[in-house]
Structure 1
Amino acid sequence: MLPEVIATRYVTPLREGGSLPGIVEADDLGTYVVKFTGAGQGRKTLVAEVICGELARRLGLRVPDLVAVELDPVIGLGEPDQEVQELLKASGGLNLGMDYLPGAIGFDPLAYEVAPDEAGRIVWFDALVNNVDRSWRNPNMLVWHGEPWLIDHGATMIWHHNWPTAAGAVLKPYDASDHVLAPVGPAIAPAASALAPLVTRELLEEVTALVPDVWLTEEPGFASPDELRQTYADALLARSGNVHERIVLGPPSADGPSRAPGWLTGRPQGQEVR
């Protein structure tokens, strides 16, 4: 299980995207960016954050520490924003917190240099988990102490929104043409040689075991949380061996719509992001 803390104060909402995460203080004196189970994307977003965030960490990529945040809905009674009140009331129990990185700023590929080797590792990882949301439009990377950190993995493993398609999704290519690090010339082959052997069943079982049972229960077609964990591990293991062969790096779509799903961006599907 993830380390567990108790929310003591809701500080402020973060209105980027469609999930309305918020900054929350906890009883360990830590400050966290919290994603809530009551948000429109639901608990699968939190499952993806845990599995992919912790997998990235074990592959040597920088990811903020994750915790499970126990939230009492009463914490929202004093909130003046009705939308925030409703979200907190709907999110009693365990939610997901990401360590708040004070002073971190959004990654700008024009201002911060990432070496091709590191870019290759990030692109390979995003291909493994089918991350549709680390584009030049929305990098989902921070710069902290001069280093890039990966955040927001809720739009990964899209196949878990329709499990009957998972087997086919494993074989699909990954279009990295709009990836924020595509212009760097990411070194994909060395990344695959270094990282693919690390993605073992044992590692995936360790990572999926961190997901709280409550986020995995009552999934149609699965008898237990452990059966669902096994299916996540199966899909990622099957994809890891040769996903590098299916990474597409073509010309970026300089002025087109975001390829992220509408449920993630908070915009109607296909609406352009300028």
Structure 2
Amino acid sequence: MLPEVTAIRYVTPLREGGSVPGIVEADDLGTYVAKFIGAAQGRKALVAEVVCGELARRLELRVPELVRLDFDPVIALGEPDTEVQDLLKASGGLNLGMDFLPGSVGFDPLAFEVAADEAGRIIWFDALVNNVDRSWRNPNMLIWHRKLWLIDHGAALIWHHNWNGAQSSAARPYDATDHALARFVSAAEVAEAAAELAPRVTDALLREVTALIPDEWLLDEPGFDTPDAVRRAYTEVLSGRAATIQDRILLSAPPKKADAPPEWLRTWVEGKAAGSQQEGPR
């Protein structure tokens, strides 16, 4: 089970993401970024955070510590934003906390260098969990103590929103052409990462990771009788994907055939060129 803490002070909302997480202080004297069950993305975003975050940690990628966060909306009555208040009122009980990294800065692929082997491992991992939210527009990575940390996996595991089509969805290619780390790697580094990491994603490891999902977030899932049945579905999809996803990672977009210039532009350019030749040098 993930460590469990109780929020004792609501500090401030974070408005960078659509789910409006917030910074809270907890009874263990720690400070956490709270991901709320009442957000529009719902409980499946929190499930994805747990599965991806804890799987990444076991593959030796840096992810802030995750905790079960008990939240009482009463502690946030002073929050003046009515929209945030509605979110907090809908989030009483068990939520997810991510260790707050003080002094960290958002990763910018134009400002920071990343070693090719590390970039390859992260791209392969994102392909495994089908993380569509690590583009250069929104990297969802932090630099803390000069190290790269991965955050915000709530949009990954897209197939768990429709279990009936999970296998066919998981069989699709992973488009990494817009990935924030694509500029640092070639296909060779991603292949090396796959050779290293794929054998480590065993059924035993996946069972260990999915066991950390709270039962409350898996209850009443259509098509499943018990939380453990849902956990087995995650294990099955991720196990199959780990073995084959390397062959379906698209790192560069296919070249596009250049459109022919319009007739008026070609005529104008040719006329300018002819005029320049007639004038000669000045």
Q: Same fold (TM over 0.5)?
A: yes
What secondary structure is seen at the aligned counterpart in 2 of 1:242? helix
Pairwise mapping of residues 1-274 of structure 1 onto structure 2 (< 5 A)?
1-186=1-186, 187-251=189-253
Query: 1:126 & 1:47 partners in 2: Cα distance?
Result: 16
Shift of 1:147: 0.7
Q: CA RMSD in A?
A: 1.2
Report the AA paired with residue 11 of structure 2.
V
Deviation track 1:6-40 (CA, whole Å, cap 9, x = no partner) reads: 00011000001210000000000000001100000
- How far apart in 1 are the matches of 2:176 and 2:78? 44
Residue pair 1:24, 1:31 contacting (<8 A) in 2 also: yes
C-alpha distance in structure 1 between counterparts of 2:67 and 2:89, whole Å: 20
Segment drifting more, 165-174 vs 117-126? 165-174
Paired letter, 2:146 = G
- Give unpaired runs (5+ residues) of structure 2: 255-282
Comparing both chains, which one has the higher relative contact order based on Cα–Cα distances under 8 Å and sequence gaps of 6 or more? 1
4+ aligned runs moved over 6 Å, structure 1: none
Moved more, 11-20 or 78-87: 78-87
Say if 1:76 and 1:84, in contact at 8 Å, map to a contact too: no
| Deviation for aligned residue 1:76 | 2.3
Distance 2:28 2:76 in 1: 20
- Cα distance in 2 for partners of 1:71, 1:180 equals 33
What CA deviation, in whole Å up to 9, does each residue of 1:81-110 have, x standing for no partner? 111211111001110000000110000111
The one-letter amino acid of 2:68's match is A
Quote the offset at 1:130 in angstroms. Answer: 0.2
Q: CA deviation at 1:251?
A: 3.8
CA distance in structure 1 between the partners assigned to 2:185 and 2:233 by the alignment: 33
Paired residues in the alignment total: 253
Unmatched segments (≥5 aa) in structure 1: 253-274
Return 76-85 or 164-173, whichever deviates more.
Answer: 76-85
Amino acid at match of 2:201: V
How far the C-alpha of 1:77 sits from its partner, in A, is 1.9
CA distance in 1, matches of 2:232, 2:72: 31
**AA in 2 matched with 1:199:** V
Please state which structure has a larger fraction of its residues in helix: 2
What letter matches 1:236 in structure 2? L
Deviations 1:161-195 (A, max 9, x none): 11111011221100000000111124111100100
Aligned equivalents of 1:112, 1:131: Cα separation in 2:
21
- Return 176-185 or 79-88, whichever deviates more: 79-88
Contact 1:39 1:87 in 2 (8 A): yes
Q: Tell me which residue corresponds to 1:268.
A: none
Specify the code of the residue in structure 2 equivalent to 1:27.
D
Worse overlay, 76-85 or 242-251: 76-85
Counterpart secondary structure, 2:148: strand
- Tell me the residue number matched to 1:272: none
Partner of 2:260: none
What is the Cα deviation at residue 246 of structure 1?
0.3
For residue 97 of structure 2, give the secondary structure of its aligned residue in structure 1. Answer: strand
SS in 1 for 2:142: strand
Q: Deviations over 1:47-79 (max 9, x none)?
A: 000000000000010000000100112122222
Tell which deviates more after alignment, 43-52 or 78-87.
78-87
TM-score (norm 2): 0.88
